[in-house]
Chains A and B, each alone.
Chain A
């Protein structure tokens, strides 16, 4: 026969789906905002500062923001990595920033900075998901 929890504390706390969804969407839009919603202020500030700085440096170093282009695998992957920056990418792209200069000395560096910022932000969203689900503190 299945045993039931004898105390209220023994019942598993159900993670809030809305809270998890809000944290993930917010984190995907603005780096660190998901953690801010979860009241992880130190992480939120560090993620916002570091990822924004990587992205801004990437543009400053003549990196390119790749367009939504799904014609081949590498173009798709470049776009996905760039778009991981969320609103940073979309606002910059819509304003015509990040045209890139392949002849510039730092073109490749700039691209790597922007890709890495986007990929790190995806990881940060996964971290916000884990925290919202109560899997980590």
Chain B
């Protein structure tokens, strides 16, 4: 399991589902909030990774 992207997807899904169940009630509201959180995690991770690409960390 050395795929960074897959690990990031798994991490985002698990953390998003916990945050969703803490913050929202009701299946519909939870579904929408989960998709919003999960999408934000993935897109922002890619964006930050892309911005950090030139830096020699």
Q: Which A residues are closer than 8 A to B by beta carbons?
A: 42-43, 46-47, 50-51, 53-54, 57, 60-61, 105-106, 109, 112-113, 116, 120, 123-124, 127, 137
Contact = CB atoms under 8 A, between A and B. Distances in A.
13 contacts: A46-B17, A46-B18, A47-B18, A47-B21, A50-B14, A54-B11, A54-B14, A61-B1, A109-B4, A120-B15, A120-B18, A124-B18, A137-B25
Given A42-B21, A112-B11, 13 more contacts: A46-B18, A47-B18, A50-B17, A50-B18, A51-B18, A54-B14, A57-B10, A61-B1, A120-B15, A123-B18, A124-B18, A124-B22, A127-B22
B9 to A, nearest CB: 12
Contact of A123 (B1, B2, B10, B22): B22
A124 to B, nearest CB: 7
A53 B22 contact: no
B43 interface: no
Q: Tell me the dominant secondary structure on chain B's binding face.
A: helix
B15 A116 contact: yes
Q: Tell me the dominant secondary structure on chain A's binding face.
A: helix
Contact of A53 (B1, B2, B14): B14
B46 interface: no
Contacts of A43: 21-22
Contacts of B22: 43, 123-124, 127
Most buried by A among B4, B11, B18: B18
A121 B15 CA distance: 11
A129 to B, nearest CB: 12
Contacts of B2: 105-106
B31 to A, nearest CB: 13
A38 to B, nearest CB: 13
B21 A106 contact: no
